[in-house]
């Protein structure tokens, strides 16, 4: 990490961390930093129910944020590079790296880690759920891992807000789960503009198939809840019957077509070019000392 990026990260910390420059100064002036603890990766046991197993995974992801009251990666830097067009096998290698390094993670990293830890449970279907929200003149993006098992829906994930990440496996329909997230957003004065639902992620960790992130795109701000529910339930039914197919050939070298939009004004539009946001990943660290310091920063600075 170059000096300019390093200082910009510390400036971000001082602006947004609850304790401001005090924590940053304490870490930067420390002669010797204590080695952070590494939480054990959870192991599935036959005596565990699926809800218990999912809770163990969520607890592990929270432990990556440290055992202090601040639970989220607060540095403004994403420690692991997540390229959505990568094959599933490559993303699973990144997930293994997350378990080795035990650095704090953000929402996108949590989705990949959740997929990795739930592999080998064929009764558990996993699919990405993305939200685009608006607040105070700005747009925000968030993603969680949707879960479907034994006729119930839930989710895994990470967020600064405890009610915008994991949800228990108790929702009877996909629309009930989505509306629960929408109601949670309203508590923070965020209005949900779009919801994007992907396809079930294969349980084969060595698959060269990329994750389908947005097979269904709903402009919920322009739709009635009854219409949103109807579209979500039709999509969920087709997913359970494995009717839906990827929108284009799964090749990591090709850009995939954007998911089908079901907004009232654009039901039969032509395929649109996929909109890709830049992956805000950190530069490769040059020195081991910088990595050790970043590790400590990740554990000490979060909300």
Catalytic residue check, 206: no
* 149 flagged as catalytic: no
Helices (H), the chain: 3-16, 21-28, 50-63, 88-101, 107-118, 174-187, 225-240, 288-300
CB 129 within 8 A of CB 196: yes
Tokens of 269: 């539009």
- Catalytic, 107? Answer yes
Among residues 102, 130, 155, 159, which one is catalytic?
159
Measuring CA to CA, which residue among 146, 57, 70, 129 is closest to residue 104?
70
For residue 258, give the 3-state DSSP assignment: coil
- Calpha distance 78→7 (Å, rounded): 16
Residue 134's region, left for phi above 0, alpha for psi from -120 to 50, else beta, is beta
- Classify residue 61 as left (phi > 0), alpha (psi -120 to 50) or beta: alpha
- Active-site residue among 17, 142, 190, 250? 142
Residue among 107, 130, 175, 250 flagged as catalytic: 107
Give the Å distances, CA to CA, from 273 to 199, 258, 269: 19, 6, 12
Provide the annotated active-site residues: 107, 142, 159
């Amino acid at each position: 990490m170059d000096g300019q990026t390093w200082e910009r990260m510390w400036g971000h910390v001082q602006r947004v961390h609850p304790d401001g420059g005090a924590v940053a100064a304490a870490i930067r002036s420390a002669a010797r930093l204590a080695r952070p603890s590494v939480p054990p990766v959870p192991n599935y046991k036959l005596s565990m129910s699926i809800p218990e197993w999912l809770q163990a995974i969520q607890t592990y992801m929270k432990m990556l944020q440290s055992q202090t009251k601040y639970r989220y990666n607060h540095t403004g830097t994403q420690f692991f590079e997540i390229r959505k067009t990568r094959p599933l096998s490559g993303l699973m290698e990144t997930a293994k790296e997350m378990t080795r390094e035990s650095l704090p993670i953000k929402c996108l990293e949590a989705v990949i880690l959740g997929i990795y830890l739930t592999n080998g449970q064929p009764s558990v279907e996993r699919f990405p759920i993305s939200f685009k929200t608006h607040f105070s003149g700005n747009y925000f993006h968030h993603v969680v891992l949707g879960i479907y098992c034994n006729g119930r829906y839930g989710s895994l994930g990470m967020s600064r807000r405890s009610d915008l990440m994991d949800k228990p496996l108790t929702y009877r329909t996909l629309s009930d789960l989505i509306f629960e997230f929408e109601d949670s957003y309203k508590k923070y004065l965020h209005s949900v503009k779009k919801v994007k639902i992907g396809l079930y992620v294969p349980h084969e960790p060595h698959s060269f198939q990329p994750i389908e992130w947005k097979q269904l795109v709903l402009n919920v701000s322009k739709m009635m809840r009854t219409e949103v529910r109807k579209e979500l339930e039709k999509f969920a039914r087709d997913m359970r019957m494995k009717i839906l197919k990827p929108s284009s050939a799964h090749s990591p070298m090709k850009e995939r077509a954007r998911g089908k939009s079901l907004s009232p004004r654009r039901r039969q539009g032509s395929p649109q070019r996929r909109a890709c946001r830049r992956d805000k990943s950190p530069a490769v660290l040059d020195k081991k000392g910088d990595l050790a310091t970043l590790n400590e920063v990740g554990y000490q600075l979060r909300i």
